[in-house]
Amino acid sequence: MTIAFSEQMRVVRMSAELVVMEQRDAAMSRVVLGPAGRPITLDDLPPPGTKRWVVRRKAEVVAAVRAGLITLEEACKRYTLSAEEFESWQRLMSEYGVRGLRTTRIQKYRGPKNEMPARSESAA
């Protein structure tokens, strides 16, 4: 009994889809430690298309990329980030910890290392 070519192709296609699904499930079940020291999975990451970036969300994405939970390319595509923006988060987190990701403190951290921002005369 021979199987028709189209039937063979259907079986091969189904096998390939099953492998992809197993790989995706394995990646989703992979657990890494997040910035707060708690385990995070893909399901714990911010939803795709996130527009409001609080410190915790930035830190989770940086931790996920560093641990290999997702790639830099996947993170940039998923969150519409430029590689430069992500790399700035990574650098700030490396140099200053999670607090370096606060946008209200960005002037302090973006200047020369350990230099306080200049205060205006009216603020004195």
Domain ranges of the chain: 7-111
Given a cut of 90, whether residue 69 has pLDDT beyond it is yes
Among candidate residues 27, 40, 46, the one with its CA nearest the CA of residue 89 = 46
Given a cut of 50, whether residue 88 has pLDDT beyond it is yes
CATH number among 3.20.20.70, 1.10.10.10, 1.10.3720.10, 3.40.50.300, domain 7-111:
1.10.10.10
Among candidate residues 96, 94, 45, the one with its CA nearest the CA of residue 71 = 45
Average pLDDT over residues 96-121: 63
pTM comes to: 0.61
